[in-house]
Structure 1
Amino acid sequence: MRPARTQPRGVLRRNLDTANLRYGRYLPAPEHAHYIEHYWFVGWDLRGQAPQLQETMPHPNVHVVVDPAGSGAFGVHSGRFVCELAGVGRVFGIKFRPGGFRPFLGRPVSTIANRSVRIGDVFGADGDAYEREVLACDDVERCVALATRLVDAHRPAPDPGVARIAAIVDEIAANRELTTAERLAAHCGVGLRALQRRFGDYVGASPKWVINRYRLHEAIERLAAGAAVDWTQLALDLGYFDQAHFNRDFKKLVGRSPGEFARAEGA
């Protein structure tokens, strides 16, 4: 079991008391890396303590989650994810690469956007058994082994579309110059309509949405670093016409203005 070394992005509550929280991310087997980004685990014991609010920004990924409060395969969610941690609990998830869930689902990923389906609806009886076993398991390594077995048993035929869409999404994340869907389509050498259809089919969100989310992820990381910010320049760097537009988008998604977030969460 190999821990993922990259730092998680999109965390909106940076100042949580982590003394009684456990969190880990683990890489998949090499033969599954085409589809899966990583496995993840969160556990907490907050008995006798105040609940903690966890908030994260959405990513263009599908998660298959086993949670006593409600398991399922969760499509791309357009809003921020908010969860109150209280008492004792643990959650285990499989984070699929952008596009990686399409061959398992067998239909456009846009059909589960902003909602979830039962794990058994995707993986049949094996999915139901997997959910029961993970709910009864308190060993992370065993949970990873169970997830690996499930994915291996249902590994689909090779789909070159998965690699193509994942490469495009990786390019969006890495290339700050890609600030519009039109610019992305030209960069990829495809028509805008074709790109939009491909994203709806494999990612479950539009290219415009994915670009906007990655640019806001970048803004959050800059603000959380605690450095002095030129707000107008930051907005322009992220592809906004002006600071007001950036402020509106940021507050709508994060729930706080950029300045409020920087003051509360900055290093």
Structure 2
Amino acid sequence: MVRVRQVRTDTRGIVDPGELMRRVSFRRLAAAEPLRRWVEHYWLIDWELAEPFEQHVVPHPSVNIVFQRYAQEPELVELSGIGLELFSQKLEGAGRVAGVQFRPGGFRPFHDAPVSTLTGRRIALPAPEEPLLDNDDDALCGQRLDAYLFGLDPQPDPLADEAMRMVDAIRADRGIRRVEDFAAGQRLSTRGLQRLFAEYVGVSPKWVILRYRIHEAIELASPDVDWGRLAAELGYSDQAHLVRDFSHTLGVSPTAYTRSA
């Protein structure tokens, strides 16, 4: 059985989280108990801005279903596969967004095709008959999200459980650095592990390892951090490799990021 985590309180993946929290109201909610084996959490954002604000996120290896409402426009629903690049969203005026963040590997029971077919894609979905965002009650919104997911009729899948367990291990253990070693520890061939991740997670195990390490680097970035020491702790061969991955992912160097944030 996959371990069910509590709702996360970290800000991993959010670029300059302090600025985001000053601009919007951001909350996370737990899904109904039977759904927590697949769902990381629900997230809600409300804003009312006097001037536009652009937020950047380094995506998790997770599929999201996102419900969006801007001013008086109709509610929009979108299936968002794993984003491979930095995600940017410009917020202006007033609006409300609610999303389901699935656990890495947890969307496959809701989807009848390999999750890799969704990677890098955003797909419009039909809006539910009863809008989710027509009120200011977070608890009611959570109940409607529960009902929406139950209506998709997810089917338990032992391989999805295995994929989620493996991603949890990668996320928690900095010592996991090489795909070949991790596969051997799971009693799988490297190719078998890659096929499992393509089917159930949507990206390769190497991508997951690197993405979680970059998340940690962003979270720990500060003017006083020893980047050489942090690179070693995160499993990089040297500081230059970490700096290169950081700069490629965020579009700015670690020094520039810590100075601006």
Please give the residue correspondences for 1:51-70 in structure 2 after superposition, counting only pairs within 5 Å.
51-68=52-69
Q: Flag structure 2 segments of 5+ consecutive residues without an equivalent.
A: 1-5, 71-75
Match of 2:240 in 1: 244
Match of 1:177, SS state, is coil
1:102–1:202 CA contact under 8 A, matched in 2: yes
**How far apart are 1:83 and its partner, in Å?**
1.1
C-alpha RMSD of the superposition: 1.9
Does the C-alpha gap of structure 1 residues 185 and 26 become closer, same or farther in structure 2, counting only changes over 3 Å? same
- Secondary structure, aligned partner of 1:178: coil
Q: 1:137 to 1:163 in 2, by over 3 A?
A: same
The 1-side partners of 2:88 and 2:116 are apart by 22
2:13 aligned partner? 10
% identical aligned pairs:
39
| Count of matched residue pairs | 251
Q: Does 1:111 align with 2:117?
A: yes
Query: What's the offset of the Cα at 1:5?
Result: 5.3
How far is the alpha carbon of 1:142 from its aligned partner? Answer: 2.0
**Match in the other structure for 1:233:** 229
Aligned AA (1:54): Q
1:38 aligns with 2:36: no
Residue 16 of structure 1 contacts residue 52 of structure 1 at CA under 8 Å; is this kept in 2?
Answer: no
Match in the other structure for 1:214: 212
Instruction: Give the distance between the partners of 2:87 and 2:51, measured in 1 at CA.
Output: 20
State the shift of 1:135 in Å: 4.5
Q: Of residues 229, 238, 253 in structure 2, which corresponds to 1:257?
A: 253
What is the CA-CA distance between 1:153 and the residue it aligns to? 2.4
Question: 3-state SS of the aligned residue for 1:82?
Answer: strand
Contact conserved, 1:98 with 1:166, CA < 8 A, in 2?
A: yes
1:140 positional shift: 2.4
Instruction: Deviation per CA, 1:159-181: give whole Å up to 9, x if none.
Output: 11121111101100111111121
Give the Cα separation in 2 of the matches to 1:84 and 1:167: 34
AA matched with 1:213: R
Query: 1:73-109: CA deviations, max 9, x gaps?
Result: 1000011111122111110101111111112111000
Structure-2 separation of matches of 1:81 and 1:180: 27
- 2:73 alignment partner in structure 1: none
Is 1:73–1:117's contact at 8 Å kept on the other side of the alignment? yes
Give, in angstroms, the shift of residue 238 of structure 1: 1.9
Residue type at the aligned position of 2:231? A
Q: Partner residue of 1:94? A: 100
Give the C-alpha shift of residue 229 in structure 1: 2.3
- TM-score after normalising by structure 2: 0.89
State TM-score, norm by structure 1: 0.87
Which range moves more in the overlay, 197-206 or 253-262? Answer: 253-262
Q: Deviations over 1:22-74 (max 9, x none)?
A: 1110011111111111111001001xx22222111110110000114753110
2:26 match: 23
What does the per-residue CA deviation read over 1:117-137, in whole Å, with 9 as the maximum and x for residues that have no partner?
Answer: 2334xxxxxxx325x612434
1:97 to 1:175, Cα distance in 2 relative to 1, 3 A: same
From the two aligned structures, give the one with the greater helix fraction. 1
Matching residue of 1:76: 82
Give 3-state SS (helix, strand or coil) of 1:197's partner. Answer: helix
